Chains A and B, each alone.
Chain A
Amino acid sequence: MLRMVLKRLMLAIPSLIGVVIVTFLLTRALPGDPAAYFAGPAATEEAVAQIRKQLGLDQPLPQQFVRYVSDLSRGDMGVALTTGQPVAAEIMSRLPASAELTLLGLIVSVLIAVPLGILAATSPGSMIDHTCRIVTTAGVSLPVFFTGLVLVYFFYYQLGVAPAPLGRLDVYFSAPPQITGFYLIDSLIARDGETFVASLKQLILPAATLAIFALAPIARMTRASMLAVLGSEFVRTARASGLSPGTVIVTYAFRNAMLPVITTLGMVFSFLLGANVLVEKVFAWPGIGSYAVEALIASDFAPVQGFVLTMAVMYVMLNLLIDVLYGLIDPRVRIEA
């Protein structure tokens, strides 16, 4: 098992090298001169040139690249010019916030979408099937920032049941001692019920926004793949053997139908990482998405490079996880070891 995972990680190295090169070139190709930006509008030519020299931007690209890579190999992703903080530390502190939000959104949508898809497939043409269709259509047609704003408008502004969309915790609470970086888990470890409830309250709306977005593809895929499996010959055999509907649907149909759903989950997760950027903006969430957007607007390329690289690594890990899961469920799939 370990050998297989290691082998897959080795295979990911070329794509990561590609990501490093492409992000480096892309950030260099961005419009705007960081040196001029930081020198300010009133700066003299010499001041800009000096800053440029300080940043190493006066050197030819290959040299800049070598410096970037050698820094990277030491875990140094550079310093964000806007904040003066090292990028690596900033990403490490912000990543749990994004991960907690995205994972919760994904879990919520799976918990709703998968049963919905199964029910819709087992009784096509019924009320629940139509509900499924409406929910999925609504889910794909609403952009996340819009759903987020609508939720904030109703639940915070109109009804007042949700807390202000201002970050991970209400100002009156202090963050639980950091262990995993996930406030929900850390507060449970610290046996701090109040903080747990407070951070959950903050999470509900942004997680719901992401969940609504993710619902559609998961529910649709579950429904379609369940329908295909329910029509297959081995399900007919199971029925003809008198197996109870529960066994037929769960053990025989669903386990087979899960395979395409898992593949979809991987894709949905990467969509969510993208959608996160907007949701974090709407809810003032201190995640890496909002960090990257701010850096991008400021032509601050070190954080942008760090962000893209982190995403790429996460994506590679996610795909590995999906492959392993796939292999565990389906004995026919042999991951090339």
Chain B
Amino acid sequence: MTAAIPNAPAEVPLLDVRDLTVEFSTRRGAVQAVKHVDVTVGKGETVAIVGESGSGKSVTSYAVMRILDRAGRIADGTITFGGVDVGKAGEREMRDLRGREISMIFQNPRAALNPIRKVGHQIEDVLRQHAQAGSDDSKAKAIAILEQVRIARPDERYHAFPFELSGGMCQRVVIALALACRPQLLIADEPTTGLDVTTQKTVMDLVVELTRQRGMSTILITHDLGLAAAYCDRVVVMEKGRVVETANSHAIFSAPNHPYTRKLVRATPRLGVTLSDLLPEEEGVARKASRASNGANGANGAGHASSDEQPLLVVEGLVKEYPRKDTGGGSLKSLFKRNGAATAPEGPPPVFRAVDGISFSVRRGESVGLVGESGCGKSTTSTMVMRLIDKTGGQILFDGEDIGAIPARQFARLPLRKRIQMVFQDPTESLNPRFTAVRAIADPILRMGESMSAKAVRARCEELATQVGLPLEFLDRFPHQLSGGQKARVGIARAIALKPDLVILDEPTAALDVSVQAVVLNLLQDLKEQLGMSYLFVSHDLNVVRLLCDRVIVMQAGRIVEEGPTEKVLGAPAAAYTRELLSAIPHPPL
């Protein structure tokens, strides 16, 4: 899958970006988002631009397409595409280039499609714009393209609206849209972020196959170094608007040159590393040493939880059913159709089992990973354990008490509630934008803790902030004044404020950059060791689960398909589904 094309950059590259500088005018004056960037892409070449948020990788690609926001402009440098000077080309010329010669796939496929227009019509719009089809044959061509991106029943899906399709399906439509006019260059901007690993693999394989077939060049913009190295010939690493390193994808992992690349490579979770390996060298070594001494003292709870004592959490035959919604899609048309053709109700049962009789336990001081793809029921399970929604059947025993029997609305008022806390997926969305960091951390203390003076609350918050590594001067800031990593720390501090026994971590690092993720994962591990909490770690990222969890539960379609110690399940999986998940993780060439 990573066969490097030998004739790397040809004599005349298809795309030649030289000394590109992009400026955004803001209220505080001009800000350079991209500084003196050089990128070349040869015919048929696949190049990755890798960087963390704010590195300017997307802005570079927008500049190539000349679709920068109103505030942005190309301040310096040249972009040459197939002999055309993009910087100087007229708007009409650019319009012909976009979609026909250069096209783009975006992150978040559902938002990238017009929500109220049939996907088939959206493809036709592009075909007609570039005179690739007339009014008589555009429908047939659109269906043919849908077929090429392997959408089953394309003539039916032609009439679908984006909300009626899954995320992976929407991304295929976006790919169809991009490839409809057989462009020479495809820019894929985080095409698989937010998709499941198996969907990611099929989408990436599809992109690679279609572009190879047509001899197209591809720019893959991603934050995932593993993905970049697995699918691309060359990797361009960007940091803070500058290119810091350009290398062959083989070389980037084995011999990273620039310190930033080394940091990124280290922070990428992969096989055969431990948590402390993710951190920059000096820090990692120190961390390793302290952990080793901790382990020697026997204070380390991880993996050493004695099996004879009563487990902290026992889940028995847990079931959650939802009334099945009409599957006919929400459109008025289908509504009319149903009314018109008064067919007898047939088919699916009236309920949908999101969680279908699962049983597992979490011991004290243990961290258990709950993995699976979206829709497998892992979040529903964690929400039920958290007692935010009521179960349909089964038992949830927390410290011997059947908390499943207590209705969710009452549970919030019980003292037991303090002992289960949650860290949410999106650090931004899960903080009240009108609360300062200290107010957010103090929230559970004020609501459920014993009453104490304002001074004492403040002192406790400062203690917590120190514990999670949040500098005290950030305590009085609002969420929008904090970085992603700092917000994640606030969320964690809030969760541990009442010294809970069980913390449910719902993809706590999914929205973070890899280097920040490395730090947060280490922080979570340290906190667990210090405070002796148990973790129920919900994630779709097996590499992260491998690092943090003692045991893993693999879920599919509401059921547990495999369960066991992390090394065993992820090292020698018994279930076919686990193997499928594992093989879908992009493996960088090492």
Contact = CB atoms under 8 A, between A and B. Distances in A.
B112 A337 contact: no
A334 B67 contact: no
B330 A241 contact: no
Contact of B116 (A124, A256, A334, A337): A256
A242 B129 CA distance: 7
A1 interface: yes
Contacts of B330: 331-334
Interface in A299-337: 327-335, 337
B115 A256 contact: yes
A190 interface: no
Contact of A234 (B112, B329, B331, B333): B112
A240 B65 contact: yes
A330 B162 CA distance: 12
A15 interface: no
B108 interface: yes
A233 B116 contact: no
Nearest to B100: A242
B116 A331 contact: yes
Nearest to A240: B104
Interface in B110-124: 111-117
A242 B177 contact: no
Contacts of B94: 242
B335 interface: yes
B331 A331 contact: yes
A137 interface: no
Interface in B64-91: 65, 67, 70
B339 A252 contact: no
A293 interface: no
A74 interface: no
Interface in B31-60: none
A337 B104 CA distance: 40
Contacts of A234: 111-115
Contacts of A328: 332
B116 A236 contact: no
A328 B100 CA distance: 32
A332 B129 contact: no
Given A244-B95, A332-B161, A334-B332, A237 B125 contact: no
Nearest to B114: A234
Given A241-B126, A242-B98, A332 B117 contact: no
Contacts of A332: 115-116, 161, 163, 330
A82 interface: no
Contacts of B113: 234, 237
A43 interface: no
Contacts of A237: 104, 106, 112-113, 174, 177
Interface string B398-412: 000000000000000
B67 A239 contact: yes
B396 to A, nearest CB: 34
B62 to A, nearest CB: 9
B177 A252 contact: no
Contacts of B117: 251-252, 255
Contact of B125 (A1, A240, A247, A255): A247
Contact of B108 (A4, A233, A252, A255): A233
B126 A243 contact: yes
A241 B114 contact: no
Nearest to A234: B114
A333 B98 CA distance: 33
Contacts of B329: 331
B97 interface: yes
B130 interface: yes
A242 B332 contact: no
A337 B338 CA distance: 11
A238 interface: yes
B111 A242 contact: no
Interface string B301-339: 000000000000000000000000000011111011001
A3 B332 CA distance: 12
A243 B129 contact: yes
A232 B125 CA distance: 18
Nearest to B330: A334
A244 B94 CA distance: 11
B280 interface: no
Contacts, number: 98
Contacts of A242: 94-100, 126, 129-130
Contact of A243 (B99, B332, B335): B99
A241 B115 contact: no
B222 interface: no
B95 A233 contact: no
A240 B103 contact: yes
A118 B457 CA distance: 51
A4 B340 CA distance: 12
Given A240-B65, A242-B99, A334-B330, A329 B116 contact: yes
Most chain B beta-carbon contacts within 10 A, residue among A247, A327, A329, A331 = A331
B319 to A, nearest CB: 28
Contacts of B125: 238, 241, 243, 247, 251
Nearest to B332: A327
B106 A233 contact: yes
A240 B116 contact: no
A232 B111 contact: yes
Nearest to B328: A334
B99 A255 contact: no
Most chain B beta-carbon contacts within 10 A, residue among A232, A241, A251, A333 = A241
A197 to B, nearest CB: 41
Interface string B195-214: 00000000000000000000
A240 B115 contact: no
Nearest to A125: B70
Contacts of A330: 115-116
A320 B439 CA distance: 45
Contacts of B331: 331, 334
Contacts of A244: 95, 129
A125 to B, nearest CB: 9
Contacts of B130: 242
B163 A241 contact: no
A148 to B, nearest CB: 39
B189 to A, nearest CB: 10
B335 A4 contact: yes
A161 to B, nearest CB: 43
A328 B335 CA distance: 12
A121 B95 CA distance: 21
B345 to A, nearest CB: 15
Nearest to A237: B112
Contacts of A238: 114, 125
B104 A252 contact: no
A231 to B, nearest CB: 8
A335 B331 CA distance: 9
Nearest to B177: A241
Interface in B436-490: none
A234 B338 CA distance: 30
Contacts of B67: 236, 239-240
A245 to B, nearest CB: 8
B92 to A, nearest CB: 9
A241 B122 CA distance: 10
Contacts of B129: 241-244, 247
17 contacts: A1-B336, A4-B335, A237-B113, A237-B177, A238-B125, A242-B130, A243-B99, A243-B126, A251-B114, A251-B117, A330-B116, A331-B161, A331-B329, A331-B332, A332-B330, A333-B330, A335-B332
Given A243-B126, A251-B117, A332-B330, 15 more contacts: A3-B339, A237-B112, A239-B98, A241-B178, A242-B96, A242-B100, A242-B129, A243-B99, A247-B125, A252-B117, A255-B117, A329-B116, A331-B161, A332-B163, A334-B330
Interface of B: 65, 67, 70, 94-100, 103-104, 106, 108, 111-117, 125-126, 129-130, 161, 163, 174, 177-178, 329-333, 335-336, 339
Closest 3 CB pairs of A and B: A242-B99, A242-B98, A241-B99
